[in-house]
Chain A
């Protein structure tokens, strides 16, 4: 992960086709196009797992079905806690066979259509439900070759969130990805102060629709009619020169070519 940051390798979110898509072929073609483009730029493709509780096809299954390449350092799969135990082991086993290295482990958005991992599935004791902490510990123990990322939500009460981060890192997470931030965020600053050695990726919100961000982070984000994703991205690089950047909801037509030049052409950061 550190190399991603040093090599100015963006993390580009790609959402697999939805289960209830009425234009599955077109969605698959678009997924393949975007994926190949991210590979071509040398970036890391980040494939979500039922983002926002909307049922989508599994990232690995989609990559495999489309016959796409999977360079170990260029793909990160999100993995949430909404799986059966056999389903989870199938994903993790399949990832190993395909050469996957990076997993971003998240608690995830529920849906009553999805099974939930139970504490006994992941060998967790003394907890009533499985969160990313238990899932990280399970993968660390059973599938040690994966590099595991932990999510950080700076919008939650900080004491609680830092306590959870401590447990995620203790369980075996080796890098951090924040929720989208649209300004210099004091809680993220604090995160970087506390964990200077843990590679951290800040998430940039690449759509103007800020109300969607409120849904993602669970807290009301003040809406700014003039929100400019590209300007904000540029500022994020300046505020957080030692961090990687995850681009969520990136526009592939207009934004992608701009973004491709943006980080590359920025002056060297002073560490």
Chain B
């Protein structure tokens, strides 16, 4: 099985601070990490290769320093990787990003399966995985929680949704996006990290992937951010409730009733 796994470098926010004036995340000094959901994508690709043989190729798009996430994928089992990096890719929205990644998949050639994390934690759009499938004309399954079966020509997955799940069979080639919990991503070994550090990560320019330059970057992106602003602060003051558990419960019910958040409940104790 030839598997491409798409990974993204995102700002790690585990120690994020919010600027009290601008209400924005202070990005200075924040480390970049692999998008947490992509770790599950890499692990699933490596698990499939371990079961069925083949090759795992990690692909990312970003500035040159984003090669770090390719190396991280290599350290946990990907066989090779490539980074799409060029000024011409800059400012791409999800349409243009999924086009560029689809071109990379096509350039690699003979790919059976593309795996992505369900979404990136910085943009939260979940659009790039299905977008890649659309550009390539592949079938797709988003929010996969389990790979049920793989045959020469198909993959069967369990997809999560709000009501439960379904099981569907996709003909290959296909794109699958995975949720947290589909596996337990392995932690890199010291030897793995040292080998990945020395690996060659090729940088691909638009010409290397036969990308139509009118379809990449800011100019090719249908959407444009026209304004950013901090979110509206939560209105109103905090109402404090104290007292015995019974008093707290009674007062809380009174307050929730007043806001019509619970209907027809009258506190019986006070």
Decide if B185 touches A113 in the complex (CB within 8 Å).
yes
Decide if B190 touches A20 in the complex (CB within 8 Å).
no
Contact with B along A55-81 (1 / 0, CB 8 A): 101100110010000000000000000
In the complex, which residue of chain B has the Cβ closest to the Cβ of A83?
B187
In whole angstroms, what is the CA distance A84 to B43 when docked?
14
Decide if B187 touches A65 in the complex (CB within 8 Å).
no
B residues near A57, Cβ cutoff 8 Å: 189-190, 193
Decide if B193 touches A24 in the complex (CB within 8 Å).
yes
- Give the residue of B31, B39, B185, B191 whose beta carbon is less than 8 angstroms from that of A65: B191
- Give the residue of A24, A61, A84, A114 whose beta carbon is less than 8 angstroms from that of B189: A61
Decide if B190 touches A61 in the complex (CB within 8 Å).
yes
In whole angstroms, what is the CA distance A69 to B3 when docked?
41
In whole angstroms, what is the CA distance A115 to B187 when docked?
9
For residue B188, CB closer than 8 A to chain A, the reply is yes
Decide if A19 touches B188 in the complex (CB within 8 Å).
yes
Decide if B187 touches A55 in the complex (CB within 8 Å).
yes
A residues near B193, Cβ cutoff 8 Å: 19, 24, 57
Contact with B along A79-123 (1 / 0, CB 8 A): 000001000000000000000000000000000011100000000
Q: How far is the CB of B183 from chain A (nearest CB, A)?
A: 10
Decide if B189 touches A58 in the complex (CB within 8 Å).
yes
In whole angstroms, what is the CA distance A157 to B144 when docked?
44
Decide if A20 touches B31 in the complex (CB within 8 Å).
yes
In whole angstroms, what is the CA distance A65 to B185 when docked?
23
In whole angstroms, what is the CA distance A24 to B72 when docked?
14
A residues near B191, Cβ cutoff 8 Å: 61, 65
In whole angstroms, what is the CA distance A115 to B191 when docked?
20
Decide if A65 touches B190 in the complex (CB within 8 Å).
yes
In whole angstroms, what is the CA distance A113 to B33 when docked?
13
For residue B184, CB closer than 8 A to chain A, the reply is yes
Decide if B184 touches A115 in the complex (CB within 8 Å).
yes
Decide if A58 touches B190 in the complex (CB within 8 Å).
yes
Q: How far is the CB of A98 from chain B (nearest CB, A)?
A: 15
In whole angstroms, what is the CA distance A19 to B31 when docked?
13
In whole angstroms, what is the CA distance A77 to B129 when docked?
43
A residues near B184, Cβ cutoff 8 Å: 84, 115
B residues near A61, Cβ cutoff 8 Å: 189-191
In whole angstroms, what is the CA distance A24 to B198 when docked?
13
Which residues of B193-215 have CB atoms within 8 Å of chain A's CB atoms?
Answer: 193-194, 197
B residues near A84, Cβ cutoff 8 Å: 184
Which residues of A7-29 have CB atoms within 8 Å of chain B's CB atoms?
Answer: 17, 19-20, 24
A residues near B190, Cβ cutoff 8 Å: 17, 57-58, 61-62, 65
In whole angstroms, what is the CA distance A114 to B39 when docked?
12
In whole angstroms, what is the CA distance A90 to B162 when docked?
40
Contact with A along B21-56 (1 / 0, CB 8 A): 000000000010100000100000000000000000
In the complex, which residue of chain B has the Cβ closest to the Cβ of A28?
B190
Q: How far is the CB of A114 from chain B (nearest CB, A)?
A: 7
B residues near A20, Cβ cutoff 8 Å: 31, 33
B residues near A24, Cβ cutoff 8 Å: 193-194, 197
In the complex, which residue of chain A has the Cβ closest to the Cβ of B184?
A115
In whole angstroms, what is the CA distance A17 to B193 when docked?
12
In the complex, which residue of chain A has the Cβ closest to the Cβ of B31?
A20
In whole angstroms, what is the CA distance A228 to B33 when docked?
38
Which residues of B42-100 have CB atoms within 8 Å of chain A's CB atoms?
Answer: none
In the complex, which residue of chain B has the Cβ closest to the Cβ of A84?
B184
In the complex, which residue of chain B has the Cβ closest to the Cβ of A50?
B187
In whole angstroms, what is the CA distance A20 to B9 when docked?
14
Beyond A19-B193, A24-B193, whether A114 also contacts B187 by CB under 8 A is yes
Binding site for A on B (CB under 8 A): 31, 33, 39, 184-185, 187-191, 193-194, 197
Q: List 21 A-B contacts (CB under 8 A).
A: A19-B187, A19-B193, A20-B31, A24-B193, A24-B194, A24-B197, A55-B187, A57-B189, A57-B190, A57-B193, A58-B189, A58-B190, A61-B189, A61-B190, A61-B191, A65-B191, A65-B194, A113-B185, A113-B187, A114-B187, A115-B184
Contacts A24-B197, A65-B191, A114-B187 supplied; 19 other A-B pairs, CB < 8 Å: A17-B190, A19-B187, A19-B188, A19-B193, A20-B31, A20-B33, A24-B194, A55-B187, A58-B189, A58-B190, A61-B191, A62-B190, A65-B190, A65-B194, A84-B184, A113-B39, A113-B185, A113-B187, A115-B184
Q: Which 6 A-B pairs have the closest CB atoms?
A: A57-B190, A115-B184, A61-B190, A65-B190, A62-B190, A61-B189
